[in-house]
Amino acid sequence: MQPIEIGLALVAVPACKIRQSDLATWEQMAKDENSQYNLYFIVRQPRVTLIPKDGPKGTTESLLLAMQTPTGTEQEEVELKVQGAPANSYFVSDPPHSKFRLISNGKTYPDINVADYALGVFEELSKLELVYVGQTFGEDGERTIQQRLEQHATFQKILADTSENAPHLEVWIMPVRLVPSGLAMLRIGKDSESVSAEAILRMSEFLLEYKFPRKEEVNLGEAALIRYFQPRYNIKFKASFPDKSHTSYATVFADDYNCVAAEVGLEGTGYEIFSDVVEPSAHPIAEFPLIADEDRFQMLDASTWSQ
């Protein structure tokens, strides 16, 4: 029988795209789910604002949108349509006009990000540049993304560099939920004729119940995504993954895993993610074989389960 190894697959699912100024509000709304978002992406996209045509109070029929480019501004007028809003709604937008809110019959609707509303109007907005991958687990334990970024020197550098060198771009934070999709696969050893059905059943039951350490899943996901995307503001793991010397994900070597894969799931969102070395994609997949010695512990050799 053909030997088969075990691999660990992790899917990174971004929740949404948030400005730093809105992060505390989002975390309060998602407080019951915050513990699920152990990673975060820092991404950039062209800056989009609204140009009020009728003063502070906008038109009832259309929006004038402006997207910043490296050489100037591209403008587009679009019909004002918001699902569920009455036909006689009008909008109000306050400086810097990155949001607007609908008002109808004395009722004020929640703010709408112009950048989200303009997705589909400007093709460039669908491309998110990944410039940093981070995690909320710290030396003192788990934290929220807001707590992690409060005194984060790299994040402040990204904001400063973007403001100075790429003012046409806007910086966003994407909370990321890491979903394990482990591929537990059986390998029949050299002495395959001596392997009983009972041994295979015992091993299969073990694999179904096996729980990979969550902290190491997060470490692996972070490292694999950094190694693959090479985000310009990350340093660690860009040239050293996978590596047995990194104790933060030692289980994959100790338990004889053969490979690690990390994916980003953006299908259905309208976005694609890219970096300096990865082309835009809604579902990029990073796969890394784990180098192992010939005499490594054969966790998945079914012949050892016959004893």
Q: pLDDT, tens digit, for every residue of 164-198? A: 999 999 999 999 988 876 554 545 455 555 556 67
Pairing of strands 72-79, 137-138: unpaired
Question: What kind and span of H or E run contains 251?
Answer: helix 251-254
Rounded to an integer, the average pLDDT of 207-227 is 81
C-alpha span between 145 and 135 (Å, rounded) = 8
Rounded to an integer, the average pLDDT of 281-303 is 66
Pairing of strands 127-135, 272-274: parallel
Please report how many Cα atoms fall inside a 13 Å half-sphere around the Cα of residue 119, on the Cβ side. 15
C-alpha span between 86 and 88 (Å, rounded) = 6
Give the range among 98-107, 158-167, 232-241 with minimum mean pLDDT.
98-107
Q: Nearest to residue 227, comparing CAs of 272, 287, 292?
A: 287
Q: Would you give the DSSP letter of residue 238?
A: S
Q: What is the tally of helices (H) and strands (E) in the chain?
A: 7, 16
User: How far are the Cα atoms of 139, 244, 299 from residue 248, in angstroms, in the given order?
Assistant: 12, 10, 20
C-alpha span between 63 and 66 (Å, rounded) = 10
User: How far are the Cα atoms of 85, 184, 269 from residue 81, in angstroms, in the given order?
Assistant: 8, 48, 19
Question: What kind and span of H or E run contains 23?
Answer: helix 23-29
C-alpha span between 174 and 269 (Å, rounded) = 13
The answer, yes or no, to whether residue 62 has pLDDT greater than 70, is: yes
What is the model's pLDDT at position 40? 92
Rounded to an integer, the average pLDDT of 122-143 is 81
C-alpha span between 277 and 238 (Å, rounded) = 12
Alpha helices (H) in 94-245, listed in sequence order: 114-117, 145-149, 153-165, 197-209, 214-229
Q: Indicate the pTM of the whole model.
A: 0.81
What are the residue ranges spanned by the domains of the chain?
7-15+177-306
Residue 136 · residue 40 · CB < 8 Å: yes
* pLDDT band at residue 246 using 50, 70 and 90 as cut-offs: confident
